[in-house]
Amino acid sequence: MVPEEESVESLMAQFGTTGKYQTRQYILHFFVAFLSGLHMFSLTFIAATPRHRCYIQELDAGLADNNNVSLFEKEILSRYIPIKADGELDSCHRYSAELPFDNGSVDAKTTSRLVEQCNGQFVYDTSIYQQSRVYDFHMVCENKWKRAFIQSIYVFGVFSGALFCGSLSDRYGRKIVLCGSGILQFVFAIAQPYFTNFVLYSGSLFFYGMFGSAGAYVTAFVMSMELVHKSNRTYCGVIFNSSFAVGACFVAIYGYFIRDIWLLQTVYAMHAAVLLGYWFLVDESIRWLWTQKRVEEAVKIANNAVKLNGGSFSNNYKIPQTHSTVQPQGSKFGLSDLFRLPIMRFRAIITAFNWFAISLCFYGLAFNMEGLTGDPRSSFHPYLVFLILAFADLPGFLLVALLFNKTGRRPLNSTLLCIGGVVCIVTTVIPRGMLVRTGLAILAKVILACNFAIIYSYTAELFPTMVRNSALGLCTMSSRLAGTLVPQITLLNSIDKSIPSLVFGGIAVCASFAFLFLPETLNKELPQTLEDGENYNKDDTAFNTLCNQTRDSRKNMQMNSEVHDKMLVE
């Protein structure tokens, strides 16, 4: 009989590190990541905000459409629309029709009284975006809060889904949450084009974010990490995150070729239809089944895997018995269990803080990307810019794949996060619009993409199977919280334009230091129980490792010196 503590490892060892079974399961998991990237950025072109201005009766009456670019030229419109301090047309105000339009005939005080709001009457430049949800609900000017609101409600859905679905996955299983999220993801994705009421549309976006970019994604990642052998975890994690980036790239590709937003959203939804068959294609996590004492089911899946890989299966497994005081048999585990034991609680807080810092710095740098924008009249440029920015993550993931198993998780993540934070701070002293500023911003984005790939894999390796999905859910929620705080922090630029970047970079540098208190997970077995998680590399921190290396070095030097002295005496 195989010893209890080795049973699950020996069970999974029977179907090897790679094979047809693992490849099929990984492809199914990676497709979920692709879909998450597709859904996460869907509003970029579904609800794009184009150039706009007030409707001018004298110019626009009787026109069949308003895609004539000349109608946005300052020379023509300056008699009807105020000019802002930066020399651009005011997109939200016009001169009152009851008073003269000749700016030269009135003084500045009179001109200020001529200005009025558009009162819901707008002309949109449809040369780039023929359709947009912004047109449907007039989400510009005094109603621009609506555009920010739908983006925030979507992110809040992702925020809630990461926590809610992660906890459910640890309690009731990975497969049921993945498949349930897949069904609801398809339902809310296909329903998007048909909501014409703003409240209903906003509510649907909440659930679209919950199941489209959180519930399925986090669960599929955990299933991959619990299936893959420790020697291949790095490559599995990198490919999974790369699949998300590829999905983001397809947002731009589909958006460019499909300008009808109703058809575009339907195309996004039809991809999710594949998930409807996942109940018959994806297997439950063997590790999770084992922790739930459902050994017969775990053995059955392993047996099928061995046969598919062309091997022979040996069934010598029994139901594991536990003597742990923190893991009673038959109990269900969730988010609260992460904080029951002191060491795991400390690690959960530090890990979540790192997710928060990476996301905060990543999205904070996004505000420095304005140097990439070009001629707004180009119908191709906005899609190309988005494609470049999405594709820029892939070189970062390649860098992780090359270094991850050589440097270890802890030093690589801490170093890259510190560099990203410093770059974010450095951009504050470089004038806006300079090429070097844009180059540094893109470099930092690539570096922080590396951090995302590292921290996903590291979190799955650090926490035990019992609460692994809850841990990832907590950390993903922390990441989304950072994303929602970025716009509020940027408001501090009204005091000093350098403050937001200093905050983003400073938090990232602090998080990189805090990460040094966490253990290294390279080439270590995944912990199973809460007790395993509490005792996992208990005394391993960067500082202890450094002290031990220094002490060993001094000891070796002393021994060499004694040997040398002895040789001289002889």
Distance CA 89, CA 64 (A): 23
Which pLDDT score, from 0 to 100, does residue 328 have? 45
Stated pTM of the model: 0.77
3-class SS at 529? coil
Yes or no: say if 498 and 365 are a contact pair by the CB < 8 Å rule: no
Report the candidate in 226, 193, 251, 208 with the shortest Cα–Cα distance to residue 41: 251
Which pLDDT score, from 0 to 100, does residue 332 have? 65
Which pLDDT score, from 0 to 100, does residue 31 have? 95
Distance CA 515, CA 509 (A): 10
Distance CA 411, CA 394 (A): 21
Yes or no: say if 464 and 529 are a contact pair by the CB < 8 Å rule: yes
């899609």: which residue's tokens? 383
Query: How many degrees, rounded to 5, is the angle at CA 347 between CA 408 and CA 17?
Result: 45
Integer-rounded Cα Rg, in Å, for the chain is: 28
Report the candidate in 11, 359, 7 with the shortest Cα–Cα distance to residue 155: 359
Distance CA 354, CA 529 (A): 24
- DSSP letter string over 339-360? GSSHHHHHHHHHHHHHHHHHHH
Written as six digits, the tokens of 434 are 């300079």
Residues 6 or more apart in contact with residue 232 via CB below 8 angstroms: 17, 18
């029994």: which residue's tokens? 318
What Cα–Cα distance (Å) separates residue 514 from each residue in 346, 350, 410, 454? 11, 7, 11, 16
Across the chain, which has 570 residues, the per-10-residue mean pLDDT values are 57 84 93 91 87 82 54 78 80 71 46 71 84 87 84 83 81 91 92 90 91 84 86 82 90 91 92 92 91 87 90 70 44 75 91 92 63 44 80 82 83 91 83 70 82 86 85 84 76 75 90 92 83 83 68 55 54
Yes or no: say if 93 and 115 are a contact pair by the CB < 8 Å rule: yes
Written as six digits, the tokens of 558 are 């002393």
């991850």: which residue's tokens? 404
What Cα–Cα distance (Å) separates residue 31 from each residue in 37, 224, 536? 10, 12, 32
Which pLDDT score, from 0 to 100, does residue 265 have? 92
Which pLDDT score, from 0 to 100, does residue 70 have? 58
